[in-house]
Structure 1
Amino acid sequence: MFSLPAEFEQFHWMVDMVQHVDVGLVVLDRDFNIHVWNGFMIHHSGKQAHEVMGKTVFEVFPEIPQDWFKAKARPVFELGCRSFLIWRQRPYLFKCRNVRPITQPAPFMYQNVTLNPMTSPKGQVDYLFMAVEDATAEALAEGRLP
């Protein structure tokens, strides 16, 4: 029987987890081009990976204020620290549909987003990854929905 090397199997698991985790994962470079767009983002945004890959996040989501978002990303790239976007300050980064309209009546998905540095082996931060969490239930619980 053929056996795959353990490293290959672990790599396969990692790819599978990235695609199926219940959190949006998006990787951007310093020019804000999209390099990773996982299954959560496909499902919630309605935009397929082949439609967004290689485009800037501002091309795909023109409603994102460029100056504001670049200011939020600057410490990630320059200092290698995290930056946070919380729904109480801005309801969402990516305007995504609410996928639970019966149990969570909301016009869109409220989001918490963490911008994380991706450090190269040389210690440089040329990419950041965003973890996008659905915060609609939290907004509903606080009575913040219109």
Structure 2
Amino acid sequence: MLSLPAEFEQFHWMVDMVQHVDVGLVVLDRNYTVHVWNGFMTHHSGKQSHEAIGKSIFELFPEIPQPWFEAKTKPVFELGCRSFLIWRQRPYLFKCRNVRPITQQAPYMYQNVTLNPMTSPKGEVDYLFLAVEDATAEAMAEQ
């Protein structure tokens, strides 16, 4: 049996986790081009990774107000700090279907989104990643 180097095995595990974690993971550059689109995002948005990667987030989701989103990402890119979007301020960033229409009567998925800087070895932030959480159950419990 062929043995794989430990680093390769760990890399494979990381890729598998990114694809199967129950959180949406999206990587954007400073031009808002998508570089990573995980399985959660595919499942909930209906957009396959090959449809999303290489496209502008504003092209994929024209309902996202560009000036508002750029203002939210500015501290992430400029200061390297996190930014947050919570469902109480705006119900969703990505208009995704509610995948539990019987148990949760909501027209779409409510979301909490964390915008995280991705620092290069030189300390520069040229990318950010979005962690998208389904907050529908919480939103429905409050309403």
Structure 1 CA distance for aligned equivalents of residues 77 and 94 of structure 2: 21
Unaligned runs of 5+ in 1: none
Partner of 2:24: 24
Deviation, structure 1 residue 138: 0.2
Deviation, structure 1 residue 140: 0.6
- Percent of counterpart pairs with the same letter? 85
For the residue of structure 2 that corresponds to 1:132, the secondary structure is strand
Structure 2 CA distance for aligned equivalents of residues 62 and 141 of structure 1: 29
Partner of 1:113: 113
- What stretches of structure 1 move > 3 A for 4+ residues in a row? none
Partner of 1:59: 59
Deviation, structure 1 residue 88: 0.0
1:8-42: per-residue Cα shift (whole Å, max 9, x none)? 00000000000000000000000000000000000
Structure 2 CA distance for aligned equivalents of residues 105 and 35 of structure 1: 33
Q: How does 1:1-146 map to 2 (within 5 A)?
A: 1-143=1-143
For the residue of structure 1 that corresponds to 2:91, the secondary structure is coil
Calculate the TM-score normalised by the size of structure 2: 0.99
1:39-63: per-residue Cα shift (whole Å, max 9, x none)? 0000000000111111110000000
Deviation, structure 1 residue 136: 0.2
Deviation, structure 1 residue 106: 0.3
For the residue of structure 2 that corresponds to 1:22, the secondary structure is coil
Aligned length: 143
Structure 2 CA distance for aligned equivalents of residues 5 and 114 of structure 1: 34
Calculate the TM-score normalised by the size of structure 1: 0.97
Letter in 2 for 1:71: A
Unaligned runs of 5+ in 2: none
For the residue of structure 1 that corresponds to 2:131, the secondary structure is strand
Letter in 2 for 1:35: H
